[in-house]
Structure 1
Amino acid sequence: MDRLEEWRAFATVASLKSFSQAARRLGRSPQAVTRAIAALETRLGTRLLHRTTRSVSLTSDGERYLERSKRAIAEVDALEVPVDAHAPLRGTLSVTAPVLFGQLHVMPIVTAFLATHEQMSVKVALLDRVVSLADEGIDLAVRIGELPDSALIARHVGDVRTVVVASPDYLERAGTPRMPETLTRHVCISLSATTPVSDRWTFGKRSIAVAPRLVVNTAQAAIDAAAEGLGLTRVLSYQVDRLVAAGKLKVVLASHEPRPVPVHLVHLPGARSRAAITFAELAATTLRKRLG
């Protein structure tokens, strides 16, 4: 294998934590993948992976080198133009995104892609949970929030804000909060999988304890309650953009918002189809414009 293939082998093993699974994904024998990583470690003069009969994990040098490998692979993939670049795209792509973000922002990209590439099909899984790209056979995922350390290749495509909103009717009745500390005097609607007695809303370095009158486990339920005038809720900006534009909700405490939440496109390391690369480029370009 050449150096690029060694990087792909290393990044894929790091992602899947298995030489045999990495070999299957890369279309290589386990022995070839083992030799590639051994050659890479020899050339670098350091061990990148801890290997036992049951597990594979990164060494400290491996963690540092993984980031460099991922950047190199992403750059090469972006520049690579196959000899059949003008042939029609064929096949099936699998894409996942959070439910509402996917409905608002990803589905228009999918329909535009399908309109242009008539021999392609796309499977879209809109889920408010993180799925394993390897286990689910996902080609591209949208992730909102800070990414944990992993071997996934990530591309930043924009940011969304964390906003506090309420209906004009509620703000007229209860007043508009000017400082985060005044939230303790307001009716709050909290988003949680459980029902705690209290909750904490963060604003930069400040964390304010609120006692929500309503706790729900979906953002849409919290938004609906706020739009009905029950109180204030805290959600991501894209979830309420349309209601804010329509005047049904107002953003408050805008000057105290925490730093924006990043949005990334992520995919597994390793060779990708021309269709996957083409869709990813369209998605990145479109989302950067939409998220501005």
Structure 2
Amino acid sequence: MNDRLLALKLFSRAGRVGNFSSAGRELGLSQPSASRLIAALEADVGAALFSRTTRAVTLTDAGATYLMRVEAILAALDEADHEARGTGELRGVVRVGTPISFALREIIPRLPAFMKQHPALKIELRVTDRYPDLVTEGIDVSIQFGALPDSSATARKLIRQPRILTASPDYLRERGTPAMPSDLAHHVVIISPAHPSPTFSFRKDGRVVSVRVDGQLAITINEGAIASAVVGLGIAASSESSARAELEAGELVRVLPDWDVGSMEVTAVFVSGKTIKPAARAFTDFLATELRN
């Protein structure tokens, strides 16, 4: 990679994360080398692209305008390289953000086939149950459940999964099996990202019933909620796929299966206004096909 192209890639990341050192590390550069490259780029351009303080670097007005142009050029170059190879081969790095449960249960089991198709592509899974910042974290595509926090984001709907309630057989033997949604008021329902509100809405035969549950236990990751339900700590809400293995193994059973607890939309999200990287598009296409099948 020549110095000019490296400098542009460094500038793009530094402009997003506001830090030369962090951007440099992503490209294998030391902090002094990163600073020298940015200084040389500013000299070539003939304008200050960053305002520097002891705590942070921020884009100048000229830098912000330059960043939009540079990112479009880098994306177009990536696309051109991909098309020129003419083989469909993907190279470089694709960074995928994904919730923990979805990574473990849906993405990782399918990765061997995708990686075999694209042996020159490096994949970074950024696994977290929080909504990541696609820009500052450099994520090319983020798999997200439910309503998007940023309505202006570029998104592609992948699949809609029903939300279900599950509990262990031991829990239900001890506490009884709910026959109606109102029975949940006498149970422990685990609060998790799959349903962070203590108020549940159920639908059946045109009726809508809302119930406020006992949120004695709250967990910040869905895998934790499933594990807690398995050991009998309460009733967990999850997507159907998140509990499939435990249901098939008999570790969990459905609670109120005749009632609709809503659904969860699975969406691939990209940085708004930015050209989608070919590798991110290919990964999303692959995942969409796999999930539909």
Q: TM-score, normalised by structure 2?
A: 0.65
Which residue in the other structure is 1:144 paired with?
145
Q: Distance in 1 between matches of 2:280 and 2:228?
A: 39
2:212 maps to which of 209, 213, 216: 209
- AA partner of residue 141 (structure 2): L
Which residue in the other structure is 1:10 paired with?
none
Q: Is the 8 A contact 1:109 1:282 kept in 2?
A: no
Q: Distance in 1 between matches of 2:134 and 2:243?
A: 29
> Structure 2 matches for 1:150-189, cutoff 5 A?
150-189=151-190
Query: Which string of whole-angstrom CA distances, capped at 9 and with x for unpartnered residues, describes residues 4-56 of structure 1?
Result: xxxxxxxxxxxxxx65543332139xxxxxxxxxxxxxxxxxxxxxxxxxxxx
- Are 1:280 and 2:269 an aligned pair? no
Which residue in the other structure is 2:72 paired with?
26
Q: Distance in 2 between matches of 1:158 and 1:129?
A: 20
* Percent of residue pairs identical: 30
Deviation for aligned residue 1:87: 5.5
- Are 1:199 and 2:203 an aligned pair? no
CA separation of 1:157/1:24 partners in 2, compared to 1, >3 Å: closer, same or farther?
Answer: same
- AA partner of residue 224 (structure 1): A
> Structure 2 matches for 1:218-233, cutoff 5 A?
218-233=221-236
Q: Distance in 1 between matches of 2:189 and 2:66?
A: 51
Deviation for aligned residue 1:99: 0.9
Which residue in the other structure is 1:64 paired with?
none
Q: Distance in 2 between matches of 1:183 and 1:272?
A: 45
CA separation of 1:149/1:222 partners in 2, compared to 1, >3 Å: closer, same or farther?
Answer: closer
SS in 1 for 2:200: strand
Which residue in the other structure is 1:238 paired with?
241
Q: Distance in 1 between matches of 2:219 and 2:98?
A: 21
Which residue in the other structure is 2:55 paired with?
none
Query: Which string of whole-angstrom CA distances, capped at 9 and with x for unpartnered residues, describes residues 227-259 of structure 1?
Result: 122332223322211101111111111222232
SS in 1 for 2:119: coil
Q: Distance in 1 between matches of 2:151 and 2:198?
A: 30
Deviation for aligned residue 1:264: 0.9
Deviation for aligned residue 1:98: 0.4
Q: TM-score, normalised by structure 1?
A: 0.65
Q: Is the 8 A contact 2:192 2:225 kept in 1?
A: yes
Which residue in the other structure is 1:40 paired with?
none
Query: Which string of whole-angstrom CA distances, capped at 9 and with x for unpartnered residues, describes residues 167-220 of structure 1?
Result: 11222333221211111222333337xxx9x93223254321122443333333
Q: Is the 8 A contact 1:265 1:284 kept in 2?
A: no
SS in 1 for 2:218: strand
CA separation of 1:275/1:213 partners in 2, compared to 1, >3 Å: closer, same or farther?
Answer: closer
CA separation of 1:185/1:21 partners in 2, compared to 1, >3 Å: closer, same or farther?
Answer: same
Deviation for aligned residue 1:116: 1.8
Which runs of 5 or more residues in structure 2 are unaligned?
A: 1-63
Greater Cα offset, 202-211 or 254-263: 202-211
Name the Cα RMSD after superposition: 2.7
- Are 1:190 and 2:191 an aligned pair? yes
Q: Is the 8 A contact 1:162 1:235 kept in 2?
A: yes
Which residue in the other structure is 2:27 paired with?
none
- Are 1:120 and 2:121 an aligned pair? yes
- AA partner of residue 189 (structure 2): C
Deviation for aligned residue 1:97: 0.5
Deviation for aligned residue 1:285: 0.9
Q: Distance in 2 between matches of 1:152 and 1:201?
A: 28
CA separation of 1:279/1:210 partners in 2, compared to 1, >3 Å: closer, same or farther?
Answer: closer
Deviation for aligned residue 1:83: 4.9
CA separation of 1:21/1:116 partners in 2, compared to 1, >3 Å: closer, same or farther?
Answer: same
Which residue in the other structure is 2:38 paired with?
none
Q: Distance in 1 between matches of 2:97 and 2:106?
A: 12
